[in-house]
Amino acid sequence: MSKTMTEEVREARTAGIRALNSLRQAQRCLDSARGWGVLDILGGGLITNLVKHSKLSDAQRCVDQARYDLDVFRRELADVNVPDVQIDGFLSFADFFFDGFLADFMVQSRINESRARLEDACRRVEDVLRMLPEV
């Protein structure tokens, strides 16, 4: 492997690890929001509702960072000619998650669905990282 290709693989691997870390941080943010959402469903008051929405805002920031890092990873993978890696398909999970909630129960349902999508995204990034040659 040439020095240039070795550097490209190293950059792709670094971008993948950064994306994976961002996805895991987004999972932690959603887990926190999920916990507060359960309290809210069980009869939490104004404070619980405010904390839950604060946690959802934190989760939005985490998801936005993960989307950005996944996009960087996708571009770096193009430099090392990794074939047919399906990263674009799960970049849109944030659009689904934060698209207008109607009720606390629906919020909780979307948090859980988004958490599952984040888990899937983590698995896919880990699979791609395993495909990259060791440098």
Higher-scoring residue by pLDDT: 12, 108: 12
- CA gyration radius, the chain: 17
Identify which of 129, 122, 100 has the alpha carbon closest to the alpha carbon of residue 21: 122
How is the chain split into domains, by residue range?
3-131
Neighbours of 133 (CB within 10 A): 11
For 75-118, list the strands marked E by DSSP: none
Q: Which two tokens stand for residue 107?
A: 């919020």
Kindly give the residue spans of alpha helices, DSSP state H, lying in 42-90: 46-79
List the structure tokens of 89. Answer: 């398909």
Output the pLDDT for position 18: 95
Distance of CA 20 to the CA centre of its chain: 8
- The pLDDT tens digits for 61-99 are 888 898 899 989 988 888 887 755 565 455 455 544 444
Q: Note the pLDDT of residue 98.
A: 47
- pLDDT confidence tier of residue 11, bands split at 50, 70 and 90: very high
Q: What is the pLDDT of residue 99?
A: 43
pTM of the model: 0.70
